[in-house]
Every structure is written in C-alpha cells, then in structure tokens.
Structure 1
C-alpha cells in the first residue's frame, strides 16, 4: 500500500511539471485514421497551469461557445453599437462644412482639400480585413476602445495643422484607421448575442449610421460658426472618446468552465473507459509504473 501511495505521489508531481499534452503508444504505432492502434496502451498527460490549485486539478473548456441569448444584455450591445455607428459615420460624412474653412485657411484648392475626406473614407472602409483579424485575436471590446483613442487623438492634433498634407495624415489616415477599428467590432459584437433576432438587432445597430449622417453636418456647421474649425475639431475629439465607453460595454459572452476533477481520478476514469472500449484488452504489453516514477513495458498477464 505504501509503495502504491508513493508511486501515485511521484506521478502527480510529474503531471504537474508537464508543459504539454503528450500521447505515447506502447505498440509504437497508429491506426490509419491517425489515432492509437487497437490493442495499444494510451497514456495521456495534461497540462495544469492553475497555480492556485494545489491538488493538481484539470479545468476543461467546452468545445463550443454558449448559444446566443437573443436578448437580455444583447440589447445593450445593440444600443452601444448604434451610438458608435452614429458617431463614426456622422463625423466621417460631415467634412463638407470644413471644406471652405480649410481651403481659405491654407490657401489651397478645394480639390486638394477633398483628399482629406477621400483618405478618411478609403482607410476607414479598407481596414476591414485587418480589423477583423484583430477582433478575432483580441476581442471586439479591446479593438473598439483602441480605435476610439486613435481617432480621438487624430482629431485632437488637427488644430496644429500647418498644411493640407498634415490633415491628410491626421484626419485622413489616422482618423480613418481609428474609425475602422470602431465600426467593424460594433457590428460584429451584435451577432454574438443574437441568432433568431440577428437581422433585427443588426438593422437597429447600423441605423446609427443614417441618424449620424443626418444630424452631425448641421451641428458641425453650427460649431464652426461658434468656435472656429480648430475648436470644432477639439470638440469632435471629445465626442469620439465616447466610443471607448461604447467599446467597454461590449462584454463578451461568458464561457462556462467545467467543474474541476482531481487529476488522478480523471486518469482512472479514462483508463476505465479505455478498458470498456476494448482498447486495452488485446494489448500484448502494458506499461507498468515503478516506485521511482518510471515506466517499464511488461507482458499483459491477461
């Protein structure tokens, strides 16, 4: 009994030290489908990086995300997506009031000034593939918040402009990239929370673009007459920062974690299942764990 207990303790220590999941076959072969050959002994070692658990437990995650709730907090996602789209498209398509101001201030033709708006729309809409990859890697919340900071910074430094080329870089490139980082996550986040009502929820969210396009140009014209184009850009920079709040509210779906099991108990269950499925019954050899924690191949007594 003491010998078996000592062996289990040593095995447990080895399991805790494992960095990868490895599979070894005593017959040193695989079946045609890539799995272990029938009649072989399979040993699996599981990584356990949970330092808070001293009992060497294993936490497993479900293979799929939980189903969309089709409501609940999803309507909050729809609301913040509506606001984000209203801010982004409302500002992006409110460049016409700035056209005359920039042309007179920098003494440049309107055709050259129009490049600022063209670059903004082009970068904003062309950033889709890059933004989608970033959203998959870092999540909609993080990407949207970074986009809000970047776009706000672009408009905040616009009053320092000394030429139209400066505006092309700040508002055109940086502002367009920031808007792209906001827009796509705002639309994608809605699809995670809805399935049967996805079309309705997405439609409500993108309505923000139309509302912003109607409301923002008159407001921008009013602000330019009141505080000038420099002050207007600073106000717009503050408005764009609200997209960071919208992004922070794009809470991802919570993935439930399965109940933890003792590692040795789990290994025992897997061996029992393997015996029931006859994966061990016909083996000519079995791996026997010695007292020092090593294994040796011995003939199967059965």
Structure 2
C-alpha cells in the first residue's frame, strides 16, 4: 500500500504542545461553522408560518448559508496564505455575529437569505478554512487524531444549541433568539485568538549520505536510499512545476485538476453533497410531521449530535492506527456507503422509537464521514497543498450544498411525504460510496506502479553514477602511472 502524499514542510511539526490549544480553538471554530446552520432548523416551522412560505423556500436559509460557507473557501484560503489563520477567524466571528443581529430585524424571507445566508455563510467560511489548515501545520504523525478531535466540535455545539434554541424561541421568539445567538457566536473570536502561528524555525532532521569517493571500497560503502531519493526527485519536479506556473498559481493551484486522487475525491463529493445535509436539516420537521411534539423533535437532534460527538474522536483514533491509516481512503468509502444505507432504511423506522434508532445510526455514519472528510483530502494531496485544495473543493461543492436541501424540500412539497426525500438522499450517498471503493483501489494500484518505476529509475541513476566514478578513478590511475613512469600497483589495477 503506497504511503500518504509526501509533505515537505521545511520544518518538523511539533505534534503536540501548543498544538492542542490550537485543536481546541479549531474545535470551537469548526463547531460553529457546521452546527450553526443545522441548529437554525429549530426556527424553520415558525419562520415558515410567519412569512407564509413553502418547505423548499424556508430550506433555502440553511442551504444558502452552507453554500456561502463553501463558496467563500477560495477567498478564505487566499487570506489564510497571506495573513495566517488567527486574523481571518477573528473577522469571521464578527461577520457571523453581525449577520444574526441584522437578521433579527428582517421583514421578508429575502432579508434572511442575505443576512443569515450570504453574510453569515461567508463569516463561517472564514472560521472553517483557517481551522482546518492550521492543524496540518502543527501535526503530522498525530494528524488524523487531531482532525478527529477538532471535527468533534460540530456535534458538541449542535448538541448544546439544539435544546438551547428551543428554549430561546419559547422565551424570546425567533427575533430575540437571533440577537442572543449573535452574541454567542462571538466565541469564534476567542477560538481565533488561540490559533498562534506555528514556529517554523525548527530545523528538519539532517539527512546522512555516504560520499562518493574514488577508491577500492567505494562501491561497497555507498548506501542508496531509493525511496528518499524518489521523494526528493518528486519534490524537485513539483518545485520546477510551481516556478513555471503563471500568476494565477499564486492564489489557486490549478495543477490540482491534474491530480488523480484529487479528481476522485472531488467527483465523489459533488454527488455525495446533494444528499449529505438534507437528512439533518429535515430531521426535526420530519418528526413534527409525524405528530411528535416540538421538544421531542428537537431532542432527536440532540441524540444525533451526542452519537456524532462520540464517534468523531473514536474515528480519528482508529484512523491513526497502523492498520487503518495506510487504507484510510477505504475507511472513508465505507462511511459514505453506510450513510446511504441508513437513509434508505429510515422510512421503515416506525414511530418515535424508530426515529431515535435512525438518529443513533445516522449519527454514527455522519460522524465518521465528517471526521474523515478533510483528513482523506490531506492524505491525497499533502499538507502543503491542502489549503488551496480545500478552497477549490468547497467552491465546487457549494452547488450541491446549495441545491440539496431545496430539492429535498421540493420532493416533500410534491409528494407530501418525507420518505421519497430520504430514498433519494440514500441513493446519492450509496452511489459515491461505491465509486470511492472502486476508484481508490485503482488509485492505490497506480500509485504503487508509479512508485516502483520511480525507485527503479533512481536505482539505475545511482548505479550509473557509481560506475562513472569508478571509471574516472581508473582513468586517473592510468594517467598517474604514465606520468610517473611506473606500472600501477596490483590494487590499483584491480580498481
């Protein structure tokens, strides 16, 4: 099994220390980025009645917010590469807070689209991208575990906000609740303050190489590390390629669209995201549609979030083991397929007990996918290209993220039943899961062949270099014998 993408950061990541404080900051920032749009679904039924709009129209609030968060990915990546993670997260927290305060004065559904959806979504993008990127600068060996812990922020925040939003609505209405949420989300600024830039002045481990000498024992003394030389050869080729890129490359690494693993990841994710968020968005409305009271419906989100909360760090721990990490792409493929099966079986779950069981199993699958979602991308492209890669992924994925929930809501409006929506989401998750299994097997096979070819080339080059040095030694000895008027010694002749 080929190793992960070679990452030449130029320094040794600490894999701990202040990095754990950074993980905590990312925990808060990622938590609000993903949980905030989901937690707002508590207000959907009431806002829908207030503005007299359809299911699909109200679903646009969360979908526009998520789509804006994904569309802001490249902008956030550029700002992170230019200014670092800390200031970008601080600005993002202020933007989301201002968006919720302005939305509390909304008079039309379009007002909510602009404030909560666009402004708030871009603010969440400025929270998400830096948090994901900075973990790769602090961790390398323990990176899957660190990513798993940071991604746990989403279910923890959702577990807290789901019942809190119901309480705020009962006490202050949706307008007063939005004002209070605007102050709560300022905790993202505290998270940004923890994201201190990593100390990159740590010297990398020295590389010891045996010198090439002209002597009798040279051939036996030379130690050729073919794998290391292959990695250095690939790194040099990447550096040359980067120098030949135009000015666009300074902001967007367009060469990623020639990267086989990146294209596999992107293709599967585009399909997957059409059915990824909709089951969460409509979980509480689905329960209410079946006659379940509001608090019990909101409690389903808490159950889902609790299971999600527990499985994410467990997934990071499992993904960091020596058995799973070389095959982490297969682990991700299984998680995506498992989600699809859960959605296909959801309509068969009877009553509230059935929905509780579905929330538990769905929480397991959703947590596994979320914990691995960006780790597998970093595994494919390397930490040094991750910031640009995640920006490109999010801008392309904003389409399915934007359209997924409204299309699902339209299915509910057309058929008057939620089961067709869950069937559709199940297929949209199961198909890319199978696609990932097949294509990652192909990708691993091709990577193995390419690595063996590179090692063969390096070995041949090393052998030719040694032979050339030996021939130079023979020539030197011959000239020396002619100039001195004596025959070369037996040992020199043997050389």
Per the alignment, residue 186 of structure 2 pairs with 241
Aligned residue for 1:81?
26
Change (3 A) 1:67 1:229: same
Q: CA 1:245/1:103 → structure 2, altered by over 3 Å: closer, same or farther?
A: same
- State the distance in 1 between where 2:182 and 2:113 align: 16
In structure 1, distance between residues paired with 2:161 and 2:31: 9
CA offsets 1:41-71 (integer angstroms, 9 cap, x no match): xxxxxxxxxxxxxxxxxxxxxx975421111
Do the aligned partners of 1:88 and 1:240 also contact (CA within 8 Å) in 2? no
The correspondence of residues 205-284 of structure 1 with structure 2, limited to 5 A, is: 205-256=150-201
Whether 1:172 aligns to 2:117 is yes
Secondary structure of 1:93's aligned partner: helix
Matching residue within 188, 191, 194 for 2:139: 194
Question: Which of the residues 90, 99, 109 maps onto 2:44?
Answer: 99
Matches within 5 A, 1:139-158: 139-158=84-103
Q: What is the aligned partner in structure 2 of residue 160 from structure 1? A: 105
- Conserved in 2, the CA contact under 8 Å of 1:85 and 1:209? yes
CA distances 1:252-292 after superposition (whole Å, capped 9, x unpaired): 023449xxxxxxxxxxxxxxxxxxxxxxxxxxxxxxxxxxx
In the aligned structure 2, how far is the partner of 1:99 from the partner of 1:236? Answer: 15
Q: Is the 8 A contact 1:66 1:253 kept in 2?
A: no
Deviation, 1:206, is 0.7
Unaligned runs of 5+ in 1: 1-62, 258-302
Distance in 1 between the 2:201 and 2:66 partners?
40
User: Is contact 1:187–1:206 with CA below 8 Å preserved after alignment?
Assistant: no
Find the residue that maps to 2:104 and give its secondary structure: helix
d(CA) in 1 for partners of 2:59, 2:37: 13
Q: CA contact under 8 A between 1:69 and 1:193: conserved in structure 2?
A: yes
SS at match of 1:95: helix
How far residue 153 of structure 1 moved from its aligned partner, in angstroms, is 0.5
- TM normalised by structure 1 equals 0.61
Per-residue Cα deviation, 1:68-93 (whole angstroms, up to 9, x for no partner): 11111000001111122222222111
Corresponding residue number in structure 1 for 2:422 = none
Match of 1:125 in 2: 70
- C-alpha contact 2:32 2:124 (8 A) present in aligned 1: no
Separation in 2, partners of 1:215, 1:178: 21
CA distance in 1, matches of 2:50, 2:81: 43
Q: State TM-score, norm by structure 2.
A: 0.38
Considering Cα pairs closer than 8 Å and 6+ residues apart, tell me whether 1 or 2 has the greater RCO: 1
Q: Distance in 1 between matches of 2:46 and 2:36?
A: 16
Distance in 2 separating the partners of 1:191 and 1:108: 43
Q: Quote how far apart the aligned CAs of 1:131 are.
A: 1.3
Query: Is residue 116 from structure 1 mapped to residue 58 from structure 2 by the alignment?
Result: no
For residue 214 of structure 1, report the CA deviation from its aligned partner: 3.2
Q: Is the 8 A contact 1:90 1:217 kept in 2?
A: no
Count, aligned residues: 196
CA contact (8 A) 2:60 2:113 kept: yes
CA offset digits 1:149-207 (Å, max 9, x no partner): 11111001111101000100000101111001101111111111111111111111011
Match of 2:35 among 57, 75, 90: 90
Q: Any gaps of 5 or more consecutive residues in structure 2?
A: 1-7, 203-495
C-alpha distance in structure 2 between counterparts of 1:141 and 1:107, whole Å:
41
Structure 1 or 2: more strand by fraction: 1
What's the RMSD between the two structures over aligned residues?
2.0
Q: Residues of 2 paired with 1:163 and 1:148: CA distance?
A: 25
Change (3 A) 1:104 1:135: same
